[in-house]
Each structure stands twice: as structure tokens, then as C-alpha cells.
Chain A
Amino acid sequence: MSKAILYDSTVCIDCKLCEKACAERNKLPYNDAVSAEEVMSAHKLTFVMNRNDKFMRRLCMNCQDPTCASVCPVGALRKTAAGPVVYDESRCIGCRYCMLACPFGVPKYEWSKLLPRVRKCDMCADRIAAGRPTACAEACPTGATKFGERDELIAEARGRIAKAPGQYVDHIYGLEEVGGTSVLLLSSIPFAGFGLRAPNEPLPILTYRVLSELPEVVSVGGLLMGGIWWITNRRSEVADAEAGDRPAEKGGKSK
């Protein structure tokens, strides 16, 4: 079964312990300066956003049908059965198409390094494989970030909204967005207020629709051009023969 993270912003107290735990797990520096940065970057893979004392955690959504994995020319990004979207640094050529394509603007680049990597949250894939929760969920003191089975977390999110309908907008962000994500968000104010927008359809179909025409273009196009060449070539052969050796060609044509 696929794992997921449920973040409930109404329980969040903006203590940023998730940020700290994430930095430790990814061996990234964490101090007051980093803590003050309200933006994802190659050295900060998650952050808590504060909009007029309404909080929202941002991290890789670990999509069910990830755009980044579909666009990567070398398959460096991959959705695992357990839920995380993982990055294999040894394949990456650094084309940065994943950064362009991600609808959530998640993948970040090590611009200052000579041999840069793409950096993003991978939902602690190694910890999940070892049967442990993600570092952020383990560190969260209030239960705002909760780790578990995706199906169970969806049921729980529905339950929380049903129990306190005035407290939440009636929307589980990540249930439908881009075909569903492994990170689910609950909020008391509309998600657009945090800059969170996304279509409900998975994006990879947009390019796949065109790519799937490729065999037809090659087979029909190849045959068509070969056929046109055959006809035009025959025509110019006939023309040459008529121009140079008219009687022979006429004899050939009389059958």
C-alpha cells in the first residue's frame, strides 16, 4: 500500500521542527537564518509558510503520476510503489526540465556547485523502506504532520472536516490535484491564498498524447515519402528516356 503525509494546518503552531528534522535527515545546515527563509531551495526542502498567522507547509507533493518523472529524459526521477518520488543523482544530466515542468515548483538546483544536483523532498524513502515514518512527521509535536497509509489518511481527513466543518475549507488538497498526490493538505482558508493551485488532471497526458503519435508519424510518413519518391522517380525516368531515347520508350509503353 502507498504511504502518504497528511498536513493539517489548523493544528500547526509554526514551530518549524519539521524544517529542522528535514535538514538533519538531508544533512543540510539549519540555523536562524535558514529558519527565516520562507522559500524552498536546494538547501531547504520544506518550509512552513505564514500568511497572517495562517500556516501552510510546503514540500514535494510526491504526486501519484509525477510530472517531473514523466519529463525526465533519463528516468532520474521515479515514483516508487511505497509513495515517494525519488531522484537518482547518478543518472541526472542537469537539463532542469523537471524544474520547468513541476506544477508545484518543487525541484530546486544547486546553482553554485560545479557538479550540481536537483534537490527535493523524497518523503524519506529510505526511512519508509525501513518501516519508519518520515523525519518531519516524527518531529511534529502537535500531529499537524502525520504519516500513514494514504487511504487511511484520506478517511481521517474526511472525518476531521465532517467533525468541524466550520474549521476547514471543504477540500482535501492532493486528493484530486494533478491526479492525486502522496501529500495531503487541510486548511482553514482557501488554498489559493497560499499560492496553491493545480488542475485536477495529471499533466503527463498532455505530452504523452503527442508522443503516442510517434509510431504513426514514422510508419505512415516513411511509407508516404517512399511512395512519393517511387512515383516521382519513375516519372523522371520516363521523362529522361523520352528525351534521350524516344523510340525505345514508346515501344515499352505500347505493351
Chain B
Amino acid sequence: MSLPKPTFWKAVMAILFLGGAYATVLRFTQGLGAATHLSDAFPWGLWIGFDVLCGVMLAAGGFTLTAAVYIFHLERFRPIIRPAVLTAFLGYALVVVALMFDLGRPYRIWHPLVMWNPRSVMFEVAWCVTLYTLVLALEFAPMVFERLRLGALLRLQRAISIPLVILGVLLSTLHQSSLGSLYLIVPDKLHPLWYSSLLPVFFFISAICVGLAMIIFESYMSAKAFGKQLELPLLISLGRVLLVLLGVYAVLRFEDLYRRGALGYLRHPGYESDLFFVEVGLGLLLPIALLMKRRVRESMGGLYMAAVLVVLGFVTNRLNVSITGMETSAGLHYIPKWTEIAVTGSIVAAGFAIFGLATKYLPVFPPGPAAPAAAPSLPFRAEQPAAAVGVSHVRA
């Protein structure tokens, strides 16, 4: 349970940032051709597949939890709203950074806001991501206001919080699904194991799954790094929801493969079917099997393992849609250049570093005892939802 050796991680980060700095110079002095392995046949690579598609997915915990607490009044989850909103805000900010690398003309990133094409999914995504990043900034703001003791601004933010949350959930629903819709336009290019008219639905449900998994993951990591952890019963509840959603996703996914007659592709071993099994094994089968065991579902370690598997599985899914599934039609294997990986690695490292700093200097985690979650008194306190008690009174 000791802290990860700071010197080791600092060395890893230093190497990543050095590589990233070199790659950045290369990208902005020599162009995309020199800095990437992208080509006319393969115009979207790691920066879109991981940084954008996965980045937005990994940030989905924000809208999931704000909806649960503010709209559905599941007050038990209030203590984990802040880390989720912080992750989401960081995630979206870093997606914008990644786009500055990937766009051929990054200085025109604002063009979709003034040059409209409402028939374009990309146009809708651009608007939603812009607006949602603003919403997240406003949802994140109270942590800063509180720290700086700006009571007036805090009250102002509280007054608009409900419409803000509703707006955030709507925008997230739209663009999380629309990232899948982007690929509806390539029915003959994307491999049948992934091309489906349900792509937007799959992207939306999996975003919520990964959002929940990320909250469990962060809680565990924060406990290790900062001695701050969320109460286990809360995470157990999240684990239950995650299990149900994974089940729904799995049924939809396989039913869709069956209906489209695409299951046959799984009988031929090969590049695509191998990576399909990696995706489904990591993201669906293993975590579902784990979470169905009560002993696993109700332990921190078990939840953590399931969460990591879900994240890895759906990261594989996004990469399969954006890279694996597009390779055969492109007639090549795309392997990112090391400079692409260096930029992506630096962005991820920056995310971890900023998250760490924020939890250190801002009121992200609830104050109080940083006791280990297994303490017997804690579950008891959390299992007393005031609302439930109140409801029984009303009925009586």
C-alpha cells in the first residue's frame, strides 16, 4: 500500500514529455507527413482513435454522475461528483489539445462555430464538444470558487446548476453517440464486425460503462496516491450498475452481429476476429464474469480489476472501430509513428499530473477521515438514504 515511487514515475514522465516535446516541434515545423504515419489511404490514426474517441469516452463519468445526483437525486453519490467532473473537464480540455495536433489547420479550430453545415456529424460534434467543455468548466468552477472563498460566485453557480446539468447531459448524449455516428458514413470501409447502424447506441452505452469504471478506477488510484478514497458501498453500487449496463451492451452487440449475419466472421481466425475477441473478452466477458461474483463485486480489489478491464476493453473497441476495422479496406496496416505515440503519451501523462495537482490543491474529495473504505462503520452510514426514510413516512 506504499506510494508508487515518485522518482520512478517522475523519470517516466520526464522521458514522455521529452519525446512529446520533440514530436511537437516536428509536427509544427515539418507537418503531419513527417510527424505521423498517416496517409491518403489512412487519414485518421492514433490521435483521432485514442486521443479523441477514447478521451471523450473516458470523460463520460462527469455527465453520468451529475445526472444521477442532480436529476435523479441519488444523494449518496454526491461525494464522488467532484472527481468525476474534474476528470471530465480535464478529459475534454486534453481532447482539444490533441485536436490541435491532428487538425491540418489547427488555428481554424473555431471555424465550425461560424461556418455551418448542419448535415455533418462532425459539425454537431464540434458544437457539442465546445459547449460541453464550457458546461464542464462551469461545473468545475465551484472547486476553485470554494478554494478562493468566493461565496457570491459560488451562490451564482448553485443557482444555475440544474439547467447546467440538464444541458450537460443532453450535449453528452448527443456527442458521445455522434462519435459512433461519424462511422455510419463508411458502410463499405469499416469491417462488418464493427459497422452497424447501432454504432451511436453502442458508443453511448459504452461511454456510460467506461465513465462508471473510471470513477472506480480513480477512487482506487487516489486512495493509493493521496490516501483519499470514496466509500466502498458507493463503489459497490456503481459496480452493480456497471454490471447491468455491460449485460445490456453485450446482448445488444451480439444480437446485432447475429441479425447482420456478421457472426460468421468470428469463425475464421484472423487479424480482425482476434482483436474482436480481445475487445469483447476484456470489456465484456471477463468483467461480467467477475462482477457476477458477489465476493468480487463487493471488494475494492475486485471492483478495481473489473473497472480496469472495462476501460481496456472499450479502449480496444474504439481503436478497433477507428483503426483495426478500417485497415483491410485501406489495404494497409497502420502502425503509429513513435512521435504520434509520444504526443498521446504526453497528453495522458499531463492528464494524470494535472489531476494529481488538482486533488492536492482543490477541494475535490470530500473532507473528513481518509480512512480505508473497509472500515465497518462507513458502509452503515452510507446505507441510510434519507430520501428512502422520507418516502416511507409519506406513505404512512
Contacts and interface: CB of A to CB of B under 8 A. Distances in A.
B112 A93 contact: yes
A41 B41 CA distance: 10
Contacts of B332: none
Contact of A101 (B103, B185, B390): B185
Interface string A97-134: 10111010100110111111000000000000000000
A238 B394 contact: yes
Given A111-B31, A112-B33, A211-B121, A238 B390 contact: yes
B173 A99 contact: no
Contacts of B70: 229
Given A233-B73, A242-B394, A211 B104 contact: no
B71 A93 contact: no
Interface in B366-396: 386-387, 389-391, 393-394
B117 A225 contact: no
A238 to B, nearest CB: 6
A93 B106 CA distance: 7
A217 B104 contact: no
Contacts of A217: 170, 173-174
A206 B73 CA distance: 38
Interface in A35-72: 40-42, 67, 70-72
Residue with the highest number of chain A CB atoms closer than 10 Å, among B124, B126, B185, B186: B185
Nearest to A98: B43
A214 B120 CA distance: 12
Interface residues of A, number: 60
B116 to A, nearest CB: 7
Interface string B98-114: 00001111101101100
B31 A96 contact: no
Contacts of B75: 236
Contacts of A239: 386-387, 389-391, 393-394
B122 interface: yes
Contact of B186 (A40, A42, A100): A100
B38 interface: yes
Nearest to B41: A105
A100 B117 contact: no
A208 B119 contact: yes
A11 B326 CA distance: 36
Nearest to B127: A73
A229 B118 contact: no
Given A116-B31, A222-B170, A232 B105 contact: no
Given A73-B123, A211-B124, A239-B386, A111 B170 contact: no
Interface stretch (A141-149, A156-164, A197-205): A197-205
Residue with the highest number of chain B CB atoms closer than 10 Å, among A101, A199, A214, A236: A101
B116 A211 contact: no
B104 A41 contact: no
B221 interface: no
A236 B30 CA distance: 60
Prevailing SS type, chain B contact patch: helix
Contact of B122 (A71, A225, A232, A243): A71
Contacts of B184: 206-207, 210
Contacts of B40: 40-42, 99, 105, 108-109, 111
Nearest to A229: B71
B166 interface: yes
Nearest to A219: B170
A16 B357 CA distance: 63
B181 A211 contact: yes
B115 A74 contact: yes
B73 A225 contact: no
B173 A111 contact: no
Given A97-B182, A105-B41, A236 B390 contact: yes
Contacts of A197: 188
B111 to A, nearest CB: 5
B97 interface: no
A180 to B, nearest CB: 17
Interface string B133-159: 000000000000000000000000000
B72 interface: yes
Residue with the highest number of chain B CB atoms closer than 10 Å, among A94, A199, A203: A94
Given A75-B116, A116-B32, A225 B67 contact: yes
B69 to A, nearest CB: 10
Contact of A95 (B103, B119, B187): B103
Contacts of A236: 73, 75, 386-387, 390
Given A70-B119, A70-B120, A206-B184, A225 B108 contact: no
Given A114-B30, A211-B121, A99 B390 contact: no
B187 A199 contact: yes
A72 B39 contact: no
A92 interface: yes
A68 B148 CA distance: 49
Residue with the highest number of chain A CB atoms closer than 10 Å, among B126, B197, B387: B387
A91 B177 CA distance: 26
Nearest to A113: B31
9 contacts: A93-B108, A101-B186, A114-B31, A207-B120, A207-B121, A235-B394, A239-B386, A239-B393, A246-B393
The 3 closest A-B pairs by CB, nearest first: A94-B104, A239-B390, A111-B33
Interface of B: 28-34, 38-41, 43-44, 67, 70-73, 75, 102-106, 108-109, 111-112, 115-126, 162, 166, 169-170, 173-174, 177-178, 181-182, 184-189, 197, 200, 326, 386-387, 389-391, 393-394
Interface of A: 40-42, 67, 70-76, 91-97, 99-101, 103, 105, 108-109, 111-116, 197-199, 203-204, 206-208, 210-211, 214, 217-218, 221-222, 225-226, 228-229, 232-233, 235-236, 238-240, 242-243, 246
